[in-house]
Amino acid sequence: MTGVTGDLTRLSLNQETIKQWSLPELAEGCVKAGVPGVGLWRAPVQEYGVEAAARLIRDAGLTVTSLCRGGFFTAIDPAERAAALADNRAAIDEAATLGTDTLILVSGGLPPGSRDLFAARERIADALAELAPYAAARGVRLAIEPLHPMYASDRCVVSTLAQALDLAERFPAEQVGVVVDTYHLWWDDTVSTQITRAGAGGRLASFQLADWITPLPGGVLLGRGQLGDGSVDFRWFRERVDATGFTGPIEVEIFNPALWARDGAEVLAEVADRYRTLVL
């Protein structure tokens, strides 16, 4: 499907968008709404049980489009780095059990006392070199997600799609790809060129949607907006991603307490309506 029929064939609901739902509620709600895909997060999946979650989603006839998150590779301390690598191997195993081929990576910010962005990015490359073959052997691709520059200090020193591709292209495309998330990339005037670059190299692993609304809330992490409430031109992004030949899922990932306080079925119906109106 190329996103022009008005249906929900490619739509995926990220678990955090309706965080108030349990995993069974998520599965039931998506089935009722005709949404075929779900993006999952490790903590609630672990709480439910990874194998049990895999059965639940599979029995519902749904597809797990991604697992979030691995990453946080930038520590300097050897023990911290070893712990991060072990945790990422566990995340890869969880993704494989869930039946998804995409593990989203939030790469990590600057270590305490450091101001060296370039060294931090090299430590990410070092971690990918260790993890990519392990992931590939389990049918999982690592997907580097660039985050908006406001997160560079504490969450992710990879701030642009170009930086993510510079890292990913050191490895085979089937092992390491990139994430195009509108919330993080809408401001970048080079993003069209970089989406084309990602597509040409077979690097597009995940396409995610959330809107940019202002003013940002305190802490900024929970400021993603419902589709249509902010500044992002979603159809523009979808057309450029589709032009690369990407036909994969389009995942709506919104962290917003106002949405979490509402009825989940109402939120999902709104997401689906705005997806049809603004994305397709």
- Looking at every residue in the chain, the average pLDDT score rounds to 96
Sign of CA pseudo-dihedral 206, 211, 215, 221:
negative
| pLDDT value, residue 217 | 83
| pLDDT value, residue 133 | 98
On the question of pLDDT at 1 being above 80, the answer is no
Closest by alpha carbon to 159, among 174, 177, 178?
Answer: 178
On the question of pLDDT at 170 being above 50, the answer is yes
Cα of first residue to Cα of last residue in the chain, in angstroms, is 11
Q: Say if residues 95 and 140 touch (Cβ distance below 8 Å).
A: yes
On the question of pLDDT at 206 being above 80, the answer is yes
Quick one: tokens of 143? 């997907």
On the question of pLDDT at 161 being above 80, the answer is yes
pLDDT band at 2 (very low <50, low <70, confident <90, very high): very low
pLDDT band at 96 (very low <50, low <70, confident <90, very high): very high
Residue type (1 letter), 75: A
Q: What is the DSSP letter of 17?
A: G
Give 109-122 pLDDT, tens digit per residue: 999 999 999 999 99
| pLDDT value, residue 38 | 98
pLDDT band at 4 (very low <50, low <70, confident <90, very high): very low
| pLDDT value, residue 272 | 98
Please give the average per-residue pLDDT across 80-87, as a whole number: 98
Q: Is the pTM of this model over 0.85?
A: yes
pLDDT band at 218 (very low <50, low <70, confident <90, very high): confident
Quick one: tokens of 4? 């022009």
| pLDDT value, residue 36 | 98
Count of other CB atoms within 10 angstroms of residue 137? 11
Please give the average per-residue pLDDT across 60-70, as a whole number: 98
